[in-house]
Amino acid sequence: MTGPGTGRADPSGSVPQQRPGRLGVGVIGAGKVGAVLGAALRNAGHAVTGVHAVSEASRTRAESLLPEVPVLEIPEILRRSELVLFAVPDDALPELVGGLAESGHFQAGHLVVHTSGRHGVSVLDPVRAAGAIPLAIHPAMSFTGLTLDLARLQDCMFGVTADAVVLPVAQALVVEMGGEPAVIAEADRGAYHAALSHASNHLVTLTSQAAQILASIGVEQTDRMLAPLMSASLENALTSGDGALTGPVARGDVGTVRRHLEVLDGLAAEGISADVGQTYRAMARATAQRALARGALSEATVTELLDLLSN
């Protein structure tokens, strides 16, 4: 089997010019991430040798994003491929890789890549005994599983973890897909993933809750009402951090916050999800404490707000 060349990481942190040769790529997990990254690698000139898809949705996705690629069992994908992309749930990855390694399915020179944000390369340690090369490549993006994700990959940041000698290979694969690699140390993967999950997943929760409140009072186009506000808030926050804090909590308007709580509690009594009020209280407490830390509010005002928000 012919694998990619290797080289040592550039100590300056710059992206290496080295590129892997044309590889046979197997995709294990045709979920939203696996199918899209498989298509991106195919677009970069690699040959997708097979895809493992179990559910009807994943098979449909594979047919759309990876047309004419055969749906195969995992051992056959490993036999045919030089690079194997594991795009499976975080908790399933260790057992799956360990079982395949124990059964002798990995080969010397295999590039074994996973897309988990939580894990670094230690989860792939079982493949090393066979001479396979572990790489962790996680796209910092939310996926739809549609072709539009391929355009979104352009300039997307990827969290990359690999042994120093093969780090340039991992970086080059990201560049081939149109992304930008950011090296994440093995010990820092948990913090990296927590940050991204907090930003992305909880943003969805907040947006859904705000839309639910608006819908409860008869607003029909909640997306149009929220989009300009939330887009501007995100842009300001990314530019200015806590300096972008605004609204009644950051201003110390205790009376307004009290009214918000009364309204949310009333809506909860009418059947709206109780988690809306709970989330508002938790986020408002964090906002008050951050406003205090940057000197925007006095300790007395923050104490009053925290007392109110603890009820």
Backbone angles phi, psi at 48, to 5 degrees: -85, 115
Residue 272 token pair? 């709206």
User: Which is nearest to 21 in space by CA: 107, 109, 101?
Assistant: 109
End-to-end CA distance of the chain: 65
What's residue 59's pLDDT?
Answer: 93
pLDDT band at 14 (very low <50, low <70, confident <90, very high): very low
Instruction: State the Cα–Cα distance between residues 61 and 277, nearest whole angstrom.
Output: 38
What's residue 272's pLDDT?
Answer: 83
Contact 91, 65 (CB under 8 A): no
The HSE-up count of residue 116 (CA atoms within 13 Å, CB side) is 24
pLDDT band at 9 (very low <50, low <70, confident <90, very high): very low
- Given a cut of 70, is residue 15 above it in pLDDT? no
Q: Which residues of 198-227 are buried (b: 16+ CB within 10 A; e: fewer)?
A: eeeeeeeebeebbeebbeeeeeeebeeebe
Instruction: State the Cα–Cα distance between residues 45 and 25, nearest whole angstrom.
Output: 10
What's residue 4's pLDDT?
Answer: 38
- Given a cut of 90, is residue 10 above it in pLDDT? no
User: Which is nearest to 93 in space by CA: 110, 75, 118?
Assistant: 118
Task: Average the pLDDT over each of 26-30, 87-91, 167-171, 268-272 and give the range with the smallest value.
Answer: 268-272
pLDDT tens digits, residue range 146-202?
999 999 999 899 999 999 999 999 999 999 999 999 999 999 999 999 999 999 999
What's residue 271's pLDDT?
Answer: 85
Mean of all residue pLDDT scores within the chain: 92
What's the whole-number mean pLDDT along residues 201-207? 95
pLDDT tens digits, residue range 86-99?
999 999 999 999 99
| The amino acid at 233 | S
| The amino acid at 37 | L
- Given a cut of 60, is residue 215 above it in pLDDT? yes
Q: What pTM was estimated for this model as a whole? A: 0.86
User: Which is nearest to 4 in space by CA: 45, 60, 61?
Assistant: 45
Instruction: State the Cα–Cα distance between residues 25 and 78, nearest whole angstrom.
Output: 9
- Given a cut of 80, is residue 224 above it in pLDDT? yes
Q: Which residue has the higher pLDDT, 246 or 6?
A: 246
What's residue 152's pLDDT?
Answer: 93
What's residue 8's pLDDT?
Answer: 31
What's residue 16's pLDDT?
Answer: 40
The 3-state secondary structure of the chain, one letter per residue: CCCCCCCCCCCCCCCCCCCCCCCEEEEECCCHHHHHHHHHHHHCCCEEEEEECCCHHHHHHHHHHCCCCCECCHHHHHHHCCEEEECCCHHHHHHHHHHHHHCCCCCCCCEEEECCCCCCCHHHHHHHHHCCEEEEEEECCCCCCCCHHHHHCCCCEEEEEECHHHHHHHHHHHHHCCCEEEECCHHHHHHHHHHHHHHHHHHHHHHHHHHHHHHHCCCCCHHHHHHHHHHHHHHHHHHHHHHHCCCHHHHCCHHHHHHHHHHHHHHHHCCCCCHHHHHHHHHHHHHHHHHHHCCCCCHHHHHHHHHHHCC
